[in-house]
Structure 1
Amino acid sequence: HEHHSDCTQHCHQVKVSEEPVHHHHEHRNLHDIAHIITHSDLHDKIKMQSLQVFTALAEAEAKVHGKTVDEVHFHEVGAIDTIIDIAGCVLALEYLGIEKIFVSNIHTGSGFVNCAHGLMPVPAPATAELLQGLQHSHGKIEKELTTPTGAALMKVLAVSTNDIPQGFSGSKIAYGAGTWDLEIPNVLRISIGELEAEAGGELLVAECNIDDMNGELYPYVQERLLQAGALDCWLTPIIMKKGRPAQTLSVLLDPQNLDQLTDILLTETTSLGVRYYAVHRHINYRKVTIVSLPEGEVRIKYAQMDGKIVNIAPEFEDCKVLALKSGHSLKTIMQAAAAAAEAQLEQ
């Protein structure tokens, strides 16, 4: 995601307070923005992912300025723009049924720009901080081609890759054009498609037993794990020593993600350790499409085995929205969506 914008405008977006925080109408900090997002009509997954991106952005700004997150203020206009950018991107991904994002080498641009703090190298300090762990390069263009907002989106939502992932089959391509006339095409290209999973392969299950954690924390931890690349995550009630009721938190993952996901388990839960072991799996090929009902659109996930459809599953969140909007029961909407999907297959 390369967000092409005027750097002078962007660099004035963030202000770092040198004094205790006093709330004024022209500035918003992370807490203020979190309040706006959490009290919106967006569903919980969109809220959580949007807040994760905003938190990454605020943490990067705070780190490069040597301040706390609460001391980072977003100017009013900049905050509104950034809320729309971030929440809009996350909402679009959910609407399109995107399950995973792969990003190739990110061009940051090069040279210097005049910011509120003086002359700064490209990428801007916060952008450079956010791009750690992602493949990126300066290139020959002396412009700011990647802003902190774009870098934060990729930091939280994407996985870095050298090439198009093996097994990827594209179905649609879209372009976003910048306003600058550069030596190279000033466009961002996005390919949407399906990634055919391997029939087998060795994976890992990492798990920990927990008997002393507030139950309200589990959904948050599971969202963090899934967003960081976990293939699945589940809880199993168990009885530990001395008859204590507890939960086993289990995570299915690719071996390459073990360290990152283990860090989340050890920092976001009360567990003092994590165990892991190898497993194998076989999965059906999946395909997502959209059906239209009188109440609105619903995404449908098909599961195929040996070229035959073996399962049809309407997207729960889509059906929930239509049920609440129309006044029909949720089960009626789900049944109608499944029937429409079957009819679509017969055409």
Structure 2
Amino acid sequence: MKTLYLDCFAGIAGDMFLGALLDLGLDAKEFLHTMEHVVLFPEREGGTGDTHSHDHGHTRHHDHEHPHVRETDPHGHVHGDDILKISVHPGSKAGMAGIKVSVANLEDHPHRGLGDVLAIIGASPLSPKVKERASKAFRLLAEAEAKVHGTSPEEVHFHEVGAIDSIADIIGAFVLVEMAGVERVVCSPLNVGSGTVKCAHGVLPVPAPATLELLEGLPVYAEGSPMERVTPTGALLVKCLADEFGPLPAGRVLASGRGLGDRESDIPNLLRAVLVETPDNGEEDRFRRDRGVVLETNIDDMNPQYYGPVMQMLFAEGALDVWATPMIMKKGRPAVTLSCLCLPEKEEELAAILLRETTTLGLRKYPVDRLKTDHEIVERETSWGMVRFKVARLGGEVLRANPEFEDVRRLSREFGIPLPEMRERLLGDFLL
């Protein structure tokens, strides 16, 4: 399986994404050929205006001219003399080379709405998958802008949805993902930056309001000198493409690429893309996968009676598992390693419980990858009444079914049957 990993240690913008994917070794001429048939906007009388891009923090660099990308209207007429530029640059002062992509000589059309953009996508010769993704992306972007401006997505003007270069970025991104044969996208947490950004509505804090709407539900942090590191277009692409978030997945590296932004920073202003061949032997269908965090600490000075209540508190607050391991610490003192497995979003809450409710002064944490069966709780009528069973499957095959312990204990007390025997009788009813 081809998996694309996006390393957003310095953020992400639309042009950086295009540059990073082209730097994987994709055919630039094929990409330009595809894009030249995409309808952007029909020719308008008058001179060329400035392009107002939403990619504030990663300003575009117009360098050497490359093959023209001509516009056609929905009737197939050719218009304009607009240019999609692709150029290789030596990189930032950190010495990181990569690809820059820019769109030049494009007029701004401030009164175009979401319907116009969707019509452009629908009239294009793009593949059904690219059309679907691009249409979904612009709807999400219009919804975010509409929420910020207190209006409806249909009333959002085109300059609020994105300038023409942003349209080229968004459609071009989905074209390149398809060209690369990407089947899954994994993304690192997003470095959104800090400070303020100037836009049509004045000076706004980073992340800008529309960007912040699009970042909802995504893992973020802020690092480095103040600047906008994740643009609305960048946040939108991650929102639409990322299947999961985490570190570089295990597999064989096929290619790597870097897409450069213009502004200098203490962190190299680039997006790194890595194409990885991950196992594709049916393993993804057999296992459920996620990532967890293990919190643990060594304790040698706490009353043993306190461990039970602490473990119950951790479970009550969402721990996936809690366990205690006897050990010998320095100076031969007996101690206990108290460990807690949780999902990343529960990490801080559970860490606070461990620090508050035990005598420890600090914790260790480390991420873990989890492979799980596909399991569910099903209710089944038995000779003893309705009982819940936990059923585990692997690749569709039922591995085992166990009655829930609380149900076994309840029925054992009710009918005066020992727990082991009650369990076996219930399993016999389940298998009938």
Q: TM (normalized to structure 1)?
A: 0.52
Q: Tell whether 2:226 aligns with 1:137.
A: no
2:55, 2:195 → 1: CA distance?
18
2:210, 2:200 → 1: CA distance?
14
Distance 1:12-1:130 versus aligned 2 partners, 3 A rule: closer
Q: Tell whether 2:245 aligns with 1:161.
A: yes
1:93, 1:101 → 2: CA distance?
10
Superposed CA deviations along residues 29-50 of structure 1, whole A, max 9, x for unmatched, are 1110000000111121110011
Q: Tell whether 2:270 aligns with 1:187.
A: yes
Structure 1: gaps spanning 5 or more residues? 14-23, 205-253, 259-276, 283-347
Distance 1:255-1:30 versus aligned 2 partners, 3 A rule: farther
1:53, 1:257 → 2: CA distance?
31
1:169, 1:130 → 2: CA distance?
32
Q: Tell whether 2:209 aligns with 1:122.
A: no
Distance 1:256-1:9 versus aligned 2 partners, 3 A rule: farther
Q: Could you say which residue in structure 1 is the equivalent of 2:142?
A: 58
CA contact under 8 A between 1:109 and 1:146: conserved in structure 2? Answer: yes
1:168, 1:78 → 2: CA distance?
36
Q: Could you say which residue in structure 1 is the equivalent of 2:254?
A: 171
Q: Could you say which residue in structure 2 is the equivalent of 1:39?
A: 123
Following TM superposition, the consecutive aligned residue runs of length 4 or more in structure 1 with deviations greater than 6 angstroms are: 254-258
Distance 1:68-1:133 versus aligned 2 partners, 3 A rule: same
CA contact under 8 A between 1:135 and 1:160: conserved in structure 2? Answer: no
Identity of aligned residues (%): 41
2:373, 2:200 → 1: CA distance?
40
2:373, 2:286 → 1: CA distance?
13
Matching of residues 22-101 of structure 1 within 5 Å: 26-75=110-159, 78-101=162-185
How many residue pairs match? The answer is 202
Q: Could you say which residue in structure 1 is the equivalent of 2:190?
A: 106
Among 395, 410, 423, the alignment partner of 1:281 is 395
Q: Could you say which residue in structure 2 is the equivalent of 1:295?
A: none
Superposed CA deviations along residues 130-173 of structure 1, whole A, max 9, x for unmatched, are 111211112132111111111011101113422112x3321101
CA contact under 8 A between 1:170 and 1:193: conserved in structure 2? Answer: yes
1:93, 1:142 → 2: CA distance?
31
Superposed CA deviations along residues 101-131 of structure 1, whole A, max 9, x for unmatched, are 1110111110012222222110101111111
CA contact under 8 A between 1:202 and 1:279: conserved in structure 2? Answer: no
Q: Secondary structure at the match of 2:248?
A: coil
CA RMSD of aligned residues (A): 3.4
1:80, 1:121 → 2: CA distance?
24
Q: TM (normalized to structure 2)?
A: 0.42
CA contact under 8 A between 2:194 and 2:207: conserved in structure 1? Answer: yes
Higher relative contact order (CA 8 A, sep 6+): 2
Distance 1:48-1:181 versus aligned 2 partners, 3 A rule: same
Distance 1:86-1:182 versus aligned 2 partners, 3 A rule: same
1:203, 1:187 → 2: CA distance?
33
